[in-house]
Each structure stands twice: as C-alpha cells, then as structure tokens.
Amino acid sequence: MSEPQNSAPVAEIGLIEDALPDAIFTRLAYAVRALGYERMKGNGSYTTTFWFPRDAEPTNVAEEAVVALLEQVDPGPQCIGMEWWLGRLGYGKELRLHFDQDLALKKKTDQSIHPILSSVLYLNSFPSSPTLILDQVLAPDGKSMIPEKAEFGKSVDAVPNHYVVFPGTLRHGVIPNPKAEQEAEELRLTLLVNYWQRRPLPPICTEYDGTIYATLKDVANERVKESGVNRI
C-alpha cells in the first residue's frame, strides 16, 4: 500500500533558466551526446539510475552537474542524497505518464515511496517533445489517482540548460507533438535528478563506478588533467 500523499499543486513547479555554468553544461551535453545509444534498448536509459549522497565528491561530469543543481533548489534538510539518470528519447518517442518512485521497492513490496522533488535538466533543444506535468498524485491504494482525471497541467519545452523542478508526487511524462519542427536524427537528451529522503533500493539504483557510461568519467578526467590535478 502507498504512503498517504497530499495533493501537490501545479503552482509548485519551478523553471530555472541557465541552471548550470556554461563550462559544466557544455561538457555534460558533449558527454551525454557521445554516449550514443548505450543502454537505450528497451527502457534501459530510464531504469539505469545512480545514487549520489549529499555532500559527496563527484566522480563524473553528471555528478558535477548534480552538485551544481543542488545549489539551485531547496529540498530541505531531510534530503540525504540524489538519484540521477540520463534521459534519451528518439524523435516521436514518448515517455508514458508515470510517478517517480523507488522502483525496486515497488517491485519487491508493492509499496510506493516518492522522492521529495523530481527534476529535469534539458541538454538540447527538442521542441517536438515537451514534458507534461499534471496535478495528479497516487491515492493511498497505490493504484488510483487523485484527482481521477487531471484538472490542471503544465507543458515544459526542452530548451538547453533549462531546469524544471516539481514535487516528486506529481504524475508526468513526455508527450510528442508531431506538429513541431524537429531534427528527426537527433536524440532528446536530459539529465534527471530526484531528491530523496531515503536511498532507493538496488539493483535499479546503484553507485556509479565507471563501468556504465564511461564517457561521463572520461570527460571529468579530461577536466582534471587540464587543471593539473590528479583527483580521479
């Protein structure tokens, strides 16, 4: 059974422009683009997530971005860390409306636990695929929704270095707009960060060790090499 959830209004959705310093954003966007289609089979890009404790030292360029983004939001003292992953969608592909939650816990116990905040950092322009955030939350039974039908919603365009932050209880997804002009060859690239009061369970959420998405660490190493610091 789900923990009881209170309705979180769409008014609590925040949008931060120019969220990352140019240097970090440029390296992050380059690294994610360089990954190509790694782990995109099935829903692998969205079910390969990593845990980063609050106040930890970053080991890759994505975690550098997570640290910088934390300075832009206020998840409260109950936040002990961040879960991050890479969003990549092809032209015309949707990410079905869903609720962010501890997926491993849900599978194991059927219990629904949501993050404090959910967020999306857009790494490239993709006008054909905005993020849709609705005013619906899970009911205590973990299956039905409150309200049953969405009454309000917010559509957020994918604009480079724009960062949308919203309550972790809200239903959301990516709904393609076939009328929008778009380069069909390019992937829609995002960094997603959930701010948690507890660590999501493995095996879905694990620590980053460089065996997956090695390019993220390579780019961080290049930055360190250029600065003359032997850190990683």
What is the torsion angle, in degrees rounded to the nearest 10, for the CA atoms of residue 175, residue 38, residue 126 and residue 86?
A: 70
Does some domain include residue 5?
no
Does some domain include residue 2?
no
229, pLDDT greater than 60: no
What is the spatial distance between Cα 41 and Cα 37, in angstroms, rounded to a whole number?
Answer: 8
Give the pair of three-digit tokens for residue 72: 């832009």
Does some domain include residue 1?
no
Q: Which domain holds residue 19?
A: 10-227
Q: Say how many domains are in the chain.
A: 1
The domain that contains 180 carries what CATH number? Answer: 2.60.120.620
Does some domain include residue 232?
no
Residues 157/227, Cβ–Cβ less than 8 Å: no
Q: What is the pLDDT of residue 7?
A: 42
Q: What is the pLDDT of residue 39?
A: 94
- CB-based contacts of 148-157 (< 8 A; 24+ apart in sequence): 152/9, 152/10, 153/10, 154/10, 154/13, 155/130, 155/131, 156/13, 156/15, 156/120, 156/130, 156/131, 156/132, 157/127, 157/130
Does some domain include residue 81?
yes
Torsion sign over Cα 60, 61, 67, 73:
negative
Q: Name the pTM for this structure.
A: 0.90
Q: What is the pLDDT of residue 223?
A: 54
162, pLDDT greater than 90: yes
Torsion sign over Cα 131, 145, 43, 14:
positive
**Does residue 115 sit in helix, strand or coil?**
coil
H-type alpha helices, 96-141: 103-109
Give the pair of three-digit tokens for residue 82: 């961040």
pLDDT digits 0-9 by tens, 30-63: 999 999 999 999 888 999 999 999 999 999 999 9
Does some domain include residue 4?
no
Does some domain include residue 30?
yes
Give the pair of three-digit tokens for residue 151: 């009454």
Does some domain include residue 3?
no
The DSSP call for residue 100 is -
pLDDT digits 0-9 by tens, 7-18: 445 668 999 999
